[in-house]
Structure 1
Amino acid sequence: MDQTLYFILLLIGECRQYHFINDGKTWTEAQRYCRENYTDLATVDNMNDMNELNKYAARVWIGLQRASCDKWQWSSGEHALYRNWATGQPDCNDECAFMRSGQWHEGQCSDNWSFICYNANTGLIFVNQAMNWGDAQSYCRQNHTDLVSVRNQNESQQVEKILKDNNSSGSHVWIGLFRVRDSWQWSDQSDSSFRYWETDKLIVIRENRTWSGALRYCRQNHVDLVSVHSEEIQRRVMNVVKRASTAEVWLGLRHSCSDKKDNKCWPSGEPVLYLNWATGQPEGRDYCAVMFNGEWHDLACFDTRHFICNNSEFIYAFTIYQILIRVTIF
């Protein structure tokens, strides 16, 4: 957290009144001051709140901070309030969760393991077929209700029982838990996911890398491979893509499901709501997306191309938890 001295905006009670503190402090000092003297640093729920904040000084602290680990959510859309992680988990290196010996572990979503579905009519169903997390989720939704949610100790015991009955209690078994890549949280721990970030900064990397190599580079040196989630971002990408030397440039979209019409999410966690595929695209069943002549095309992920990173968080002005419900991620 940047410790630059800024003024403070704090939150007073449930009526969401803001009070301007004309005293330069670090973010941590500002949080402590607000909690000791009022309620907490300011939470921003909507554009009305933003307009209210804009009446004050040009730069003030608000209560948004980056969490130590991204948020976890069930495939059904419910918050993961109950936790049963193994020691040292989660370490935030992977994005999907499996159960082994009664405890949860992070796993690579591309790994192929058996899994447990939930059926609203018949209960839990153990599926002894090795699939990646996204394919397991699609299978459960198409044939039952969803991948299993483990929301309390009783449900955890039910899952352990069905694994024991199928001689799989020590195996890696997918459950419906995945990591949401919105690692920011409000100081007062509220569920507000309203975001209003400064305009994105796009960086063209003139190095030939595979899609995975490009993703790794962007996350290590910037924020992520670019997500094109609106016409506005599409136009910005088209403006900067001219700086690349390759005709095709990697975008952040990858699809590894057998059903090519089942749209996936961008690496940043945003659902695919905006599409700009060229005619006849996508063709493949396991592909990564590139931009070519202003349109999207599929390309084998192990090919090498230049790519675009974004160097700041995207403008979030929607409720991510509501919009992710029933959306499949890869």
Structure 2
Amino acid sequence: MTQTEARAACRANYTDLVTVCSEEDNTALINLTKTYSKVWIGLQRDETDLTFSSHLITQSLTWYEAQTYCRKNYTDLVSIRDQDQNEAVKIKGGNISMSFWIGLLRDDWEWTDGGHSAYMSVNVSLESPLDYCKKENISPVFSPAQQGCLRTFHLIGMNMTQTEARAACRANYTDLVTVYDVEDITALINLTGIGSAWTGLYRNPVQSSTKWSNGDEVTFSALSGDCGSGPCCAAMKADGSWESLLCSVKRNFMCYKQDETDLTFSYHLILQSLTWYEAQTYCRRNYTDLVSIRDQDQNEAVKIKGMNSTTPFWIGLLRDDWEWAAGGRSAYRNWWDGQPGPFPSNCVKLVSGKLYSVPCSNTGPALCYSSKS
């Protein structure tokens, strides 16, 4: 392909042609391209003055159709940054007797990874989004456990404190990385080798928070008691109530399997004593995830399915004081043995594929991510 075709292909399938930020990036790219003598990267000479031109299209389309047309034939629907630009667009559109679309969209839809994309390709024949949400909530459907497919990872190789690392990630990409699963770990190891680098996980000194392993919102709880110091996980008892236990305790556990076609799911009681973290890994490898529970009816169904366990069994609820800088609800905690450490080890590095808490004043490279729009 030409460079133009290569960039178009990257933008169509990923984010863009690669930006090389460090020697580590260069090494990773060499390993990736061993079978090719030369490949395109994103570096080019700036031969333009970055001016732009406006084009009025006298063809009646919906906003979404207009967006598609502009992206296919130009750059995008116009955006307006100040009054001067607004005046220029007004003059350009003076030959049309009716109002015309610009690029501003207001709706109540958001991307789960926080991306700012306004792209929509939705085919829902309903009176309103509210009707759609009501119908969706009739039968609870679990969220997917893997949420990393909308991101690209990046390594900034200079030594920085955690605060500096986060600032660098936000200035150049989106934020410090959120780790959702073992696939993320594998990708980050390939990026960093066996060294250590900052992730977005940090301790919240004010309060703990609860989260489901699969990222579902916590809308129902039958939890009682407190496990004491350290992360606590929920185990369901024979009467359907939940008790709070140290996540390092070994218990049987309940997985669920979600059908990717019709979004139905099934429960699977595993009569094998593992820690909560080990159970999470097992469920994700063999099913979908540890079970999450949204209401009393679902709680009753899980209780019945777990009757063959003679002891309380793990469900997917985790309570700890660790949060991700980018706000992700990931409950993935691939700690090294003896981790996490106590205060002041309040920030987390990825060290040889596992999480390790250290003081935030320590230094190291930064693992960042960027959202794919």
TM tier, smaller: 0.3 to 0.5
Higher strand share: 1
TM-score (norm 1): 0.39
Q: Of the two, which has the highest radius of gyration?
A: 2
Greater RCO (Cα-Cα under 8 Å, separation 6 or more): 2
Task: Report the TM-score when normalising by structure 2.
Answer: 0.35
The structure carrying a bigger helix percent of its residues is: 2
